[in-house]
Each structure stands twice: as structure tokens, then as C-alpha cells.
Structure 1
Amino acid sequence: MFKLLAKLNKLLLPNFTKQGLDIAKAKKWQMAIIGWKYYVTKNALD
């Protein structure tokens, strides 16, 4: 299930790394997306 979510995240959610986002200056909604992508990726690798 998490592997499918990881693929959907990659397709649908923005990639802040390529945009050059500074984590210290990220807005709350951006931090929520980063946290969600981290959670899904961590569980997809297990």
C-alpha cells in the first residue's frame, strides 16, 4: 500500500528539493507535505 502511495506522491505532490526550498523558511502547508512524503517513503522502504 505504501509503495502505491509513494508513486502517487511523486506524481501529484510538488518536489520542493528541485525548487530549492529552504526548510527553515517553509510554510506550514509545505512542512505538512514534506512530513507526509517522509512518512510514506519511510514505510514504503520497510
Structure 2
Amino acid sequence: MKNGLFKVLSKFNKKMLPNYSQKQLDLAKATKLQKAIIGWKTWVTKNSLK
């Protein structure tokens, strides 16, 4: 159940949230919102792979 939820969230992230790795965003220059999005995407991805 929990794993399925994270898989759905992962698909949402891929479609709706920006991809900063393709934009070559420098983490030192990232805003707090950009860092929060990166953290959210990392957390969801980590949990969907379990």
C-alpha cells in the first residue's frame, strides 16, 4: 500500500515538478523553494524504490 502511494507520487513528480538536473542548477545558488523541491523529489524517489 505504502509503496504504491510513493510510486504514484513519483509519477506526479516526474510530470509536474521541474527537473533541475537537466537545467544544471547549481545547488549553491538554489533558492529555498528549489531546495525544498529537490528534497521532496529525493525523499519520494527513495521511498518508492524500497
TM-score (norm 2): 0.89
TM-score (norm 1): 0.97
CA RMSD of aligned residues (A): 0.4
Q: Name the residue aligned to 1:8.
A: 12
Q: How many residues of Structure 1 are paired with residues of Structure 2 in the alignment?
A: 46
Percent of residue pairs bearing the same amino acid type: 59
Which segments of 5 or more consecutive residues in structure 1 lack a partner in the other structure? Answer: none
* Structure 1 segments of 4+ aligned residues over 2 angstroms from their partners: none
Q: Point out the structure with the larger helix share.
A: 1
